Copies of this chain bind each other. A is one copy, B any other.
């Protein structure tokens, strides 16, 4: 209505409704503490003035930003963007905004610290396992109520609240699938891992191989980057090998896509010449040719569970408490990129 007046405040509403600003505030946040009649007058006044709360003022007063920060290593990766989708949805439903962080310059924790110290976010959802855990301890939030939920797969015993998947078992299942098909020469493209922390996924690989009495040959273990490029590099290395593995476990689906694609260009067919199993089950996996066998990760659920946990912590009582840990189940999805080894 008032095109040229500044945005209405709680005072304006109070004036129109003929009450004090405190009463308006009460009517807004806990309506039951206000009489029926005044509540109605206030509701009308809100409508008449076009009032909406100023979240900044409220946050300053309440010392709560009603905002959470999410740190993701690679937003462009469909795996993470699905998680983000779930987080935004669920946070919004509980009245929280979601700020997206990225790495700033050299120190990856730098940006995160800034957000917290500046009171822009109340809690942190950390999906980036490649951050240095030591540096994390510096975050103010790690003390006390600890509004930080970590969701990654390579820090199994950090004293933090976590949402993770059953990685070690998942990889075991994947490798057992290959072994069950008759493969004995099995390689892997390792996923990226947290500095100075042994990789859970790789541990699962070693375990499965060991149990089956199969050797792990270092020239069949490649370091990936969780992206297509890493799969391509591994494929080129594979092609140069004298003795090649007949099956490959890839740390994620993009890696598998790059590997299969590069091999095809060289005339090597999957699964005829080499079986490949991925990890994640991103949306395109089932539509590839060959359709990708993979371990499905409950990404959407990961986002939901992590959000719920963080918001419960934020809204729950302060004080020391033991860390909470959710472990979600992965699932083997058998498609056509894996088969018995060539004769």
Contact = CB atoms under 8 A, between A and B. Distances in A.
Interface of A: 3, 7, 52-57, 59-60, 65, 67, 74-78, 80-82, 84-85, 88-89, 92, 97-102, 104, 111, 114-115, 117-120, 140, 143, 228, 254, 257-258, 260-261, 264, 283-284, 286-289
A78 B84 CA distance: 12
Given A75-B84, A287-B257, A52 B100 contact: no
Contacts of A60: 54, 56-57, 60
A72 to B, nearest CB: 9
Contact of A100 (B82, B84, B254, B258): B84
B287 A54 contact: no
Nearest to A257: B287
Contacts of A118: 52-55
B67 A75 contact: no
A234 to B, nearest CB: 14
A260 B288 CA distance: 9
Please indicate which of the listed interface residues A3, A59, A82, A99 has the most CB atoms of chain B within 10 Å of its own CB: A59
A84 B99 CA distance: 12
A228 B84 contact: no
B100 A100 contact: yes
A76 B67 contact: no
Please indicate which of the listed interface residues A80, A102, A254 has the most CB atoms of chain B within 10 Å of its own CB: A102
A161 to B, nearest CB: 20
Nearest to A78: B78
Contact of A228 (B80, B119, B260, B287): B287
A140 B82 CA distance: 31
A117 B52 contact: yes
12 contacts: A7-B117, A7-B140, A56-B65, A74-B85, A76-B78, A80-B81, A88-B100, A98-B99, A228-B287, A254-B283, A254-B284, A260-B287
Nearest to A264: B289
Contact of A99 (B67, B114, B288): B67
B102 A89 contact: yes
A99 B68 CA distance: 10
A89 to B, nearest CB: 6
Given A67-B99, A78-B78, A92-B111, A55 B287 contact: no
Contacts of A80: 81
A73 to B, nearest CB: 11
B78 A102 contact: no
Contacts of A92: 101-102, 104, 111
Contacts of A78: 76, 78, 81
A304 B115 CA distance: 22
A120 B7 contact: no
Contacts of A56: 56, 59-60, 65, 119-120
